[in-house]
Structure 1
């Protein structure tokens, strides 16, 4: 199946959708919009993964297997333990692939807003103090910068492994909006 763009029609109405992209690319926001259009549940995978104190939850993999056995869902494609399983169950992958500079701007803005507002994220967690950018090698801003190219490579590998899986590549917020209003809305009926 060829790589689809923001204006290409979808081959079918999707039911199990993955959103791929690095931190700050807009996965969770877009996943919520996709789920709303499709009338499918959005399962925020970060909420399943992160327990209190940012400790991974022991039931994470079981929870992912449980929701992904359902007929319809939308979630973010991340966490090595479940990547393959989710890829096998999905019937559409949306690759959010904005340029690295855009991702960096978005993740910095999001991180600052969350920290300054002390916004609770998942299971009581909040963004760590801003100084941790300098002390934590896996700080979300550093993570987004360092892992940006990995997502494209992961998507390419999936396209080789699952040539039947439709993959939509969107490079900007404008393309996301066009795709949501156009091809996805038409496929959702």
Structure 2
């Protein structure tokens, strides 16, 4: 199946949707919108993955298998331990292929805002002190920078493994809006 763009109609009404993108690209925001439009549950993977003190939850994979067995859902396409399983179950993948500069502006702004407001995230966690950007190789800002180029490779691999899976590629905020107001609205 060819890659779909922001104006291309969807081949069917999707029920199990993955949203792919670099950290900070807007996956969760778009996933919530898609779930609302399709009237299916949104499951936030970060909430399933992160336990207290940012430790991985031991039930993460079982929880993912449980929700993904349902007939309808929308979630993010992340976490290597479950990425393949979710891809096998999905009937649509939306790729937020935003430029690195755009993603970095978004992830830095979000991280700083969350930290300054001491916003409680998943299971009581808050963003670490901002200086840890310099010391923690897994810091979300560094992660977004270092992993940005890897998603295109994962998408190419997935398209070889599941050539019939529709993939919608959105390269800008305006394309996201155009797709949401066009093909997504008509699919729901």
Q: Deviations over 1:42-67 (max 9, x none)?
A: 00000000000000000000000000
Corresponding residue for residue 179 of structure 2? 179
Partner of 2:24: 24
Distance 1:177 1:71 in 2: 26
**Normalising to structure 2: TM-score of the pair?**
0.99
Length, aligned pairs only: 188
User: Paired residue for 1:53?
Assistant: 53
Superposed CA RMSD in Å reads: 0.4
Q: SS in structure 2 opposite 1:64? A: helix
What does residue 165 of structure 1 align with?
Answer: 165
Counterparts of 1:61-140 in structure 2 under 5 Å? 61-140=61-140
TM-score by length of 1: 0.99
Deviation at 1:173, TM superposition (A): 1.0
Inter-partner Cα distance in structure 1 for 2:120 and 2:156:
34
CA distance in 2, matches of 1:127, 1:151: 24
Which consecutive segments of 4 or more residues in structure 1 shift more than 4 A? none
Structure 1 unmatched runs, 5+: none
CA deviation vs aligned residue, 1:32-91 (integer Å, no higher than 9, x gap): 000000001000000000000000000000000000000000000000100110000000
Gaps of 5+ in 2: none
1:157-187 C-alpha deviation (Å, 9 max, x unpaired): 0001000000000011111111011001101
